[in-house]
Amino acid sequence: MVRRQLAFLVGGIGAVGASNAAAALQQCKSAGDAQCESDGRDHAMLQMKSGKVEKMSDSVSCCFAFEDASDKCGSCHAGSTAQPGSFCATSEDHCKSCSPHAAWCTGDAAAPTPAPAALAPQPSPQETGPSTVDIAPQSPVSSQTTSKEWIHGTWTTGYWDCCKPSCSWAGKGRVNKPVLSCDIHTGAKLFDPNVKSACDGGSSASCADNKPFIVKRRLSMGFAAAAVSGNSGLTGDENCGQCYELKFTDEIHPNGNWGGSHPDLVGKSMVVQVTNIGQDVTGEHSFDIQIPGAGQGIFDTGCAAQFDGFSKEDFDCANKYGGCNEKKGCARLPQVLRSGCEWRYDWYHWLEGQGKTNNPYVNFRRVQCPKQITDISWSVPLDDHLFPTIDLDAYD
C-alpha cells in the first residue's frame, strides 16, 4: 500500500468556544451574506450563502491555510481566509482564538479573497483530547438511497501498519482538519499535521482507537484506506475524511472461488472513514480496512516503534500479507489492539469455511460521518450534510 505524503502547514479553523458563542452569533448575524444559527449549547454556526464573497476590507484578513509558515500572509491559499463579518475576521485576538496557526494579515498581504464555501463546525480549540464534533443544522437528508447511489461489485482487504495515515497530513480532502494521528511515545492525539511518520523515523503513528468496533449486531465502524487505482470510483486525496457504508454481499471471488463473505456477514454493514490512500491496487478492490493483526505489508517498522517490547512479527504473526490466521494470534499484539484483532474473527468471520471466507465483496455508498467516528478522528468533510445519515435503529 503506497501512501502519498504531502506536508505543508495548514491551520485548522477551530470552533468558537462557549464564552465567545454570543459574540460570534452576533457577528454572524451582522454579516449581510450570512445565514446564522446557534446550536443552543456552546457553538455559533456560520454558513455563507452561495455566490462570490468579498473581502472584509482591503487591509485585514485572517488566514487559516498557507504554504509557507515563514510567510503565512504572502502564501495564504485562496479560499482560506475568514469570511467577512464572521467572528474570526473581526480582530487579531478572535483570529488567533479560531486557530492557533492562523495569521492576522494586514495591508497588501491581506489580498487573498475567500472562495465561496461553508465554514464547517469544528472541535474546541482547547486541544487536550477527543471532543464532541457538532454538526451545523442542515436540511434533513433521507437515509434511503436508490440503487444508483451504491457502487456494486467491489471487494475489501485489511491491514494495520501503524504508520501515520496519509490523510493526517495537511491539504488532504475538503475537511475541517486533517485526521488526527497519535504520538508513539505517549499515545496522545497530535494536532500538528507536520510531525514525521513513525514509519519514516518520526513520532506520528496511527492511533490505537482507529481499530474497528461493533455498534449494533449488524453494524460496525472503523477506518480504511481507499483503493484508488481500480474500478471503485474512488479517486485519491479528495476522498480523505469521507465516510462510506460498506454492505457485505454473498459474491465470491472468481478463478477458483477463493474468498468472499461468511454467510453470517452477508447483509451486515460497516461504516468507515477514509484515512489513507492506496495507489498500488487495481481491479475491483475498493477499501483496505484498518484491522490490527491483518498484515503490515511493506511498512513493517512503525508498530515496533510505537509499542515497546514487541517485535515486528508480533503485529501480524510474521505474515506481512494477510496477517494472523487464527484468533489466538491476537494475543501477540499489545492489549490496546487486541479487541480490534478479535473483531476480525468474531464479527467479520475471517478464514472460516475451510479458510474461504476472506476479502469479502461489498456494495458501498457515501454517507454522513457518524459521531462515533468523528469523535475519534476529529475530521469532518465540509460537504458532509449533503449525504444520508446512518439510522442506528435500522441495524438491530
- For every residue of 236-265, DSSP letters joined together read SGGGTT-EEEEEE---B-STTT--B--TTT
Distance in angstroms (rounded) separating the CA atoms of residues 8 and 353: 48
Gyration radius of the chain over CA positions: 22
Which residue reads 506481512 in cell numbers?
320
Distance in angstroms (rounded) separating the CA atoms of residues 170 and 178: 6
Between the CA of residue 149 and those of 220, 226, 227, 239, 348, what are the distances in Å?
21, 18, 19, 16, 25
Closest CA to 25 of 39, 33, 37, 13: 37
CB 344 within 8 A of CB 158: yes
Active-site hit among 134, 209, 237, 288:
288
What are the backbone angles phi and psi of residue 336, rounded to the nearest 5°? -65, -20
Known active-site residue 250: no
Beta bridge partners of 250: none
Helix (H) or strand (E) holding 35: strand 34-38
For 200-203, the CB contacts below 8 A with 24+ separation are 202/164
Known active-site residue 93: no
Which residue reads 479560499 in cell numbers?
79
Beta bridge partners of 178: none
Q: Which amino acid is at 279?
A: Q
Active-site hit among 134, 161, 209, 314:
161
Beta bridge partners of 365: 245
The residues that are catalytic are 161, 288
